[in-house]
Structure 1
Amino acid sequence: MQVTTTNSTAATGATPSQKAQLQKAAQQFEAVFLRQMIGAMRSASLAEGISDSSATQQFQDMADARTADAMAGKGAMGIAELLMKQFGARVSDTPVAPDATAAGKATGA
């Protein structure tokens, strides 16, 4: 998984490549999409439960978020993979230098 790659580059002090950043953003997008989908499915219930309260709702939301994050991390829906196929060819594998991007903005490039 790319998560371990990102963690290892952070430990060595190297900057992550644009592909690694794209992979992380794609997984986060998939997680947000899944959270919205799970929330919509949960709100479609027709009857109120015996233990429905604001606290229960809050814990269900947290559990749904964790479930969505886990599903996105495993690529359960394949959304992140599709995003990588679509946008992966447009980014390079070279590390992104923070100073280079700041210099490019300052010169108007």
Structure 2
Amino acid sequence: MINGVSIKSGVLGDPKANELDQLKAAAKQFEAIFTRQMLKSTREAKLADDDLFGSDATDQFREMQDSNLADQLSGKGAMGIADLLVRQFQSRVAQPAAPAAGAPATPEGTGG
């Protein structure tokens, strides 16, 4: 049975990524977890226990299939949960500093 939640490599593991990008990545992962749990609950709420093709292997395959579907749906923003979370928490994260209007975009310490 696949129950573990793992943080995927990428933006969340990158210390250089800004907080807004990390928030977006975390929101997408939350949406995937939520969708996965919703699909799992839907499968468990079946009416008949005597499934013609029911076996542990079939259940494990369906769980992997649901997990993949949840990842795909959250990656496309199909449920919209990630967007809502980003809007909700966006004001709490530091925005990346933008250069002042008319100022050259030179790295600090170069004397540009």
TM-score, normalised by the number of residues in structure 1: 0.71
Structure 1 vs Structure 2 CA RMSD: 2.0
Instruction: Name 1:45's counterpart in structure 2.
Output: 46
| More displaced stretch, 44-53 vs 65-74 | 44-53
After superposition, the C-alpha distances for 1:41-90 in whole angstroms (9 at most, x for unaligned) are: 11111123211111110010000000011111111111110110010121
- Map residues 73-84 of structure 1 onto 2, 5 A cutoff: 73-84=75-86
Distance (Å, rounded) in 1 between the aligned partners of 2:27 and 2:83: 8
Query: How far has the Cα of 1:30 moved from its partner?
Result: 0.6
5+ residue gaps, structure 2: 1-9, 98-112
Distance (Å, rounded) in 1 between the aligned partners of 2:72 and 2:51: 26
Identity among equivalent positions (%) equals 46
5+ residue gaps, structure 1: 96-109
Letter in 1 for 2:57: A
TM-score, normalised by the number of residues in structure 2: 0.69
Looking at secondary structure, tell me which structure has more helix per residue.
1
* Stretches (4+) displaced over 2 A: none
Distance (Å, rounded) in 1 between the aligned partners of 2:88 and 2:45: 33
Letter in 1 for 2:42: M
Bigger radius of gyration among the two: 2
- 1:34 matches 2:32: no
Letter in 1 for 2:37: Q
The 3-state SS of whatever aligns with 1:52 is: coil
Aligned residues: 85
